[in-house]
Structure 1
Amino acid sequence: METVDRLERGDHACLTYSDPEERSDLLASFVGRGLQLGERVLCFSAAPVSDELRQRGVPAGESVLPVEELWGPGGTPNAAAMVRRLSAERDRSPHGLRVTLDMSWAARPQAGAEQLLAFENEVAKLFAEGGLTALCTYDREAFDSVTLAYAARTHPRTVTAAVYHEDAVVRICRQHVPPGIRVAGELDVSRAGALKDALAEAVRLDPDVHLNLGHLRSLDDGAAAVIVRAASGLPRNRHMIVVGDRQTGRTLRVAGAHGVPNLRLLVRDR
Structure 2
Amino acid sequence: MGGLAGEEQHPGTLPVQHMGAGDHAFLCYDGEAPGWDVLAAFVWAGLVRGEKVIVLGPPHLGESEVRARLQEAPGLPAASGWERAQLELSSMRELILPQRRFTADRQWRRIVEETEAARVEGFSGLRAYIDMGWVADLGAGLDMMMDRERRAGHLFTDGFYSEICAYDRRRFPEPVLEAMCRAHPRNLLPRLGQLRCLHGNGTLRVIGEADLATAPRFAEALAALFRDSGASGVVTVDLRRTGFLSAACADELVRRIARAAAGRPVRVRCSAGHALLLRRLGADPARLEVTG
Assess same fold via TM > 0.5: yes
Q: State the 1:69 CA deviation.
A: 1.4
Distance 1:156 1:87, change over 3 A: same
RMSD in angstroms over aligned alpha carbons?
3.3
Residue aligning to 1:163: 194
Give the Cα separation in 1 of the matches to 2:244 and 2:14. 18
Deviations along 1:205-233, one digit per CA (max 9) or x if unpaired, are 9xxxxxxxxxxxxxxxxxxxxxxxxxxxx
* Partner SS state of residue 134, structure 2: helix
What does residue range 1-270 of structure 1 map to in structure 2 within 5 Å? 1-20=13-32, 23-45=35-57, 46=59, 47=61, 48=63, 49-56=66-73, 57-58=75-76, 59=78, 61=82, 63-94=88-119, 95-108=124-137, 110-160=139-189, 161=191, 162-163=193-194, 204=246
* Partner SS state of residue 133, structure 1: strand
Unaligned runs of 5+ in 2: 1-12, 197-207, 221-242, 248-292
Distance 1:180 1:53, change over 3 A: farther
Residue aligning to 1:185: none
Write out the 4+ residue segments of structure 1 that deviate beyond 6 Å after TM superposition. Answer: none
Question: Relative contact order, CA 8 A, sep 6+: which one is greater?
Answer: 2
Task: Name the TM-score, length of structure 2 as normaliser.
Answer: 0.54
Give the Cα separation in 2 of the matches to 1:92 and 1:141. 35
The 8 Å contact of residues 77 and 105 in structure 1, kept in 2 or not, is answered as: no
Give the Cα separation in 2 of the matches to 1:4 and 1:43. 15
Q: State the 1:32 CA deviation.
A: 0.4
The 8 Å contact of residues 83 and 122 in structure 1, kept in 2 or not, is answered as: no
The 8 Å contact of residues 97 and 132 in structure 1, kept in 2 or not, is answered as: yes
Give the Cα separation in 2 of the matches to 1:138 and 1:69. 19
Distance 1:21 1:108, change over 3 A: closer
Q: State the 1:70 CA deviation.
A: 2.5
Distance 1:22 1:67, change over 3 A: closer
Unaligned runs of 5+ in 1: 166-173, 182-192, 206-270
Q: State the 1:132 CA deviation.
A: 0.3
* Partner SS state of residue 69, structure 1: helix
Deviations along 1:10-53, one digit per CA (max 9) or x if unpaired, are 11111111145661110000110011100111111222421111
Residue aligning to 1:260: none
Structure with bigger strand share is: 1
* Partner SS state of residue 163, structure 2: strand
The 8 Å contact of residues 180 and 202 in structure 1, kept in 2 or not, is answered as: no
Residue aligning to 1:238: none
Count of aligned pairs between the two proteins: 181
